[in-house]
Amino acid sequence: MPDNDNAMYSNPLEDVLDGTTLADISHAGGDFDNLAANEVPESNEELWQALRDSHNALFGRRRDYRTRRDRTQAVVDGFKLQMDAIADAYMDWSLKSRDGGMGMLPEVDPDEMVLNYLPLVVVDVFSSFDKLVPMLAADKFVASGLMNLGYVPCSPYGPRVAITIRALEVYRVTHLRCPRLGIQPYVRALCDIHGKVAFRTYLSTQFSIAFDVYLATLALVERRVQKALGRDTPDWRLKNACPPCMYKLEGEPQLLIPLLTTMDGNNSLRRFGQKARVEDEGGEESTTAFVSKARKDDREVPGDYYLSRSEVDKWAKEGLEDLMKGYTSDPEWVEEEDGCSERWSNMREEITSRALSLAKYGFAVIHHLIRVLGELGDGYDIGCKFKNMVNAHPVLGPFAREHRFRSLVGAFHGHAHNRRCQLCNLATYVEGVGLEDLEECESFFSKSNALAASTRYATTFHRRQAISTYMQHTDVFDTYQGLASLLASKYKRALEVKLGARTLRETMTRLGIPNAQTFVNWLAAEKEFLAGLQHEPLEETLQMEYYQKLVNLRAAEEKLVLVRNTVAIEDPGAQQYEQNAALTRRVETQRRQALELRDNVLVAVHELEARLEVTQRWEAGCEEWSAAAVMVSNRRYQRALDKLHGLVIARLFELTKCNMSGTGYKMRKHIAKALQARSRAIKTAIEQYNNAAAALEVPREPLSWEEVVDYTFLSDFDLLRFARTDIASEGWAQPAGREAMDQYFKLLRADEEIQRLNVEIPRLVTYMRDEEAFLERQEARILREDDGEALAHQVALYRMRQGRFNDAHRVRLLQLANLEGFSGSIEPGVPINKERLVGAAVGASLRARPVPESFDRASLGDGDEDDDETEADALDAAFIVLRVTEDPAQ
């Protein structure tokens, strides 16, 4: 038997290599060519197979089918399995750091068993250093062990670099306060501070991975806190987003529109998608098909700030067939004509189609809001058209009407809508809206657009994560912080508007207006007047067309006579024969064309005479001719007015954009050039308008450049238009009458605003009392549970995060209560929703709390605060009485 198993098998290659066997191959015979073509002679097949096997055994390489396109998903999957342990470790670290804060990293307990030490490069705020980090026996994973010591790893397995929590927290908070700051500038700054290594792109990638893990940990801890508080039910955040709006009390008056919202799109935060062209079977790149170049990443942004894709897509045009099943139209609903819908209908087909395809987002948002919040009014820059779109929808329409949904137009965008639309949808004329301008989206976008610089080229997940975390931070640290200040400023504004009541009474006396009902009648009369301007009667249209054809016929006949009388003068010289022939042909062509033009116009005249049943053709100077001439002049005047109207609209919006915060220098220069061109176009349009106005039977007053550029409401243009009835004597058509009418409706809205604020202020006061007491009870309950200290600490942080602003709220409301004209109450009430009263002692009384010594009234920063010491003492005394809560000890 051989010494090894391999000796049992003969290798014919060995005999060839040692020269004992002659290989029957030669290049002259073309054997190498056969080898290249994979054609091996049958006699040498065993030899060649042995040669391949030997070569593969010595030099073979395993084919690697892996790609780096899934590396992001691999990191995500690696951390996903460890997130619960990482969250536990973070809560333990946070508990250990509650006394010293983030200023110091916790040390390892000497009683802990250390298994080994992991060499790491630790990146901190002001330094980076090498460290042997101990891995404890109690750690489930390396990542959770590092988190327990205040480090966040940059890799799920075998990390070599970790970043301290405080370095990540500094960036998180700084980025939320200055959204333009991205990861790369922050990492560059760390490199500059540390002074050890130059910036490299991979450093930003490492920081981004650690930051994602940190944010995911915070989100998971937040979900645990919400679950412990019983606030993990669907849509809980939305139902409790605004205490003054949603924390309803027993016995409060019913508001006509219980809740007001605003909605708009924002293209400034769009993301540039990274796509590549798809190649066909022939290797040619397609011009229409694209595939995303983004790496696979299945992460979803935590929270409910985003609607799911499926919820949005079911409202798309493609999904309408499924929604139409079982649909029956509502015979009671009739589309309301406001004059703006025609503008949409007259848009180019591709623009209209795109607008309708994007309507699914508006439909999805409104359906979600109505389903969760019930009856509401929504401000939208195209609220007039959107209202009809919602009502015409087979599913959303009946649902919205059932819940009395109101679609309105904001005050700023309402300037670009015609007067008839304003009378129907502008907040000034809608009962129950108050003094709300419904333009909060613009102010929010002016701040959130700072995110665009850091999210423009981000991945889908990172863009949504940045927007979601920014909005979550804004809800607490900006919106909630400013609630009392907002309520107080709105109350003061309403009182200032009400001061105009005396001026209105004097104006009514001067104009001879008997009572306030006159303004309501004027509004109805103006609506009726503007409704008559929408469409020209068919008969008038035909008469104007007939008049224009008669004018064209007269001109064509005069031209025909002129051409017929034209005689071609020929030179009898033989050398001028070609020129004479060309001249004759030119004259004959002119005669033929003039005759055809006359005949075509005559045919059109005959058709119009048949439609109008004209037995005798109109002649210049007859009654019908003169009346039609006046109507044509009026139409030319209307066209000139429409052109001027549109140019002024564009000018107003460009001026607004030019002065908007966040508009770049190049964009400002571009807009400035457009404004210069627009100004020249407006001057030309004014000249055309004045010429058309002077050609009227009763000439209109010319417009000057100063008058046009000073227009604040574009609805003023509508009163320059013609109607079939004279409105010169109508009170609502006079400037003084219109100003008085607007002032009257503003006074009505101011009364509604005060009524709403008198409802919302006690809601906020009651919410602060109930929320503070509820969180304190829940914190004590969780603390009594086994291993509940870490979770109780997170509940305490949650309580302090929002409750830190309550003292400032109370002081501002006390100042408001001392304001002359205040008619509300700052006493807490009884909430309808008893969720926050769970665990409260039955019959618990209210006890006063002392003013906290750490509270500084000067930190409010209100420029209009009175520094009088007497008022300050009174506020201190009232503050002690107001700052009350449920006493858990009783």
Q: In 10 A of CB 581, how many CB atoms?
A: 12
- For residues 204 and 96, membership in a common domain is answered with yes
Contact 49, 56 (CB under 8 A): no
| The last residue of a domain, from among 701, 722, 743 | 722
Domain-located, residue 736: no
Residues spanned by the domain of 695: 625-722
Domain-located, residue 469: yes
Strands 161-164 and 114-123: parallel
- For residues 606 and 503, membership in a common domain is answered with no
Q: Cα–Cα distance between 855 and 807 in angstroms, integer? A: 7
- For residues 422 and 570, membership in a common domain is answered with no
- For residues 546 and 488, membership in a common domain is answered with no
Bigger pLDDT: 445 or 550? 445
- For residues 499 and 462, membership in a common domain is answered with yes
State residue 502's pLDDT score: 92
pLDDT tens-place string over residues 853-865: 555 554 555 444 4
> Which segment, 22-31, 687-696, 718-727, is predicted with the most confidence on average?
687-696
Contact 400, 386 (CB under 8 A): no
- For residues 498 and 596, membership in a common domain is answered with no
CA atoms within 13 A on the CB side of 52: 9
Identify any residues that bridge with 121 across adjacent strands, giving them in sequence order: 130, 161
Domain-located, residue 184: yes
pLDDT tens-place string over residues 635-666: 777 677 767 766 665 555 445 545 444 455 55
Identify any residues that bridge with 135 across adjacent strands, giving them in sequence order: 116
Domain-located, residue 367: yes
Single-letter code of the amino acid located at 408: L
Q: Cα–Cα distance between 575 and 675 in angstroms, integer? A: 61
Q: Cα–Cα distance between 727 and 325 in angstroms, integer? A: 50
pLDDT range class, residue 232, cuts 50, 70, 90 = very high
Please state the domain count of the chain: 6
pLDDT tens-place string over residues 159-191: 999 999 999 999 999 999 999 999 999 999 999
Domain-located, residue 374: yes
State residue 474's pLDDT score: 94
- For residues 103 and 82, membership in a common domain is answered with yes
Domain-located, residue 800: yes
Nearest alpha carbon to residue 360 among 326, 291, 313:
313
- For residues 765 and 872, membership in a common domain is answered with yes
Mean pLDDT of the chain: 78
What average pLDDT score do residues 531-540 get? 62
Which phi and psi angles does 117 have, rounded to 5°?
A: -120, 135
- For residues 139 and 178, membership in a common domain is answered with yes
What average pLDDT score do residues 726-755 get? 83
- For residues 95 and 137, membership in a common domain is answered with yes
Strands 161-164 and 151-153: antiparallel
| The last residue of a domain, from among 208, 228, 248 | 228
Please give, one letter per residue, the 3-state secondary structure of 34-83: HHHCCCCCHHHHHHHHHHHHHHHHHHCCCCCCCCHHHHHHHHHHHHHCCH
Domain-located, residue 292: no
Contact 252, 759 (CB under 8 A): yes
Residues in CB range of 834: below 8 A, 6 or more apart: none
| The last residue of a domain, from among 565, 587, 618 | 618
Indicate the Cα dihedral angle 599, 600, 606, 612, nearest 10°. Answer: -150
**Helices and strands in the chain: count of H runs, count of E runs:** 33, 11
Give the CA angle between residues 874, 877, 882 to the nearest 5°: 115
Domain-located, residue 290: no
Reported as type and span, the H/E element at residue 300 is none
Give the CA angle between residues 698, 699, 703 to the nearest 5°: 150
- For residues 485 and 351, membership in a common domain is answered with yes
Nearest alpha carbon to residue 288 among 280, 275, 277, 300:
277
- For residues 90 and 159, membership in a common domain is answered with yes
pLDDT tens-place string over residues 27-42: 455 554 554 455 545 5
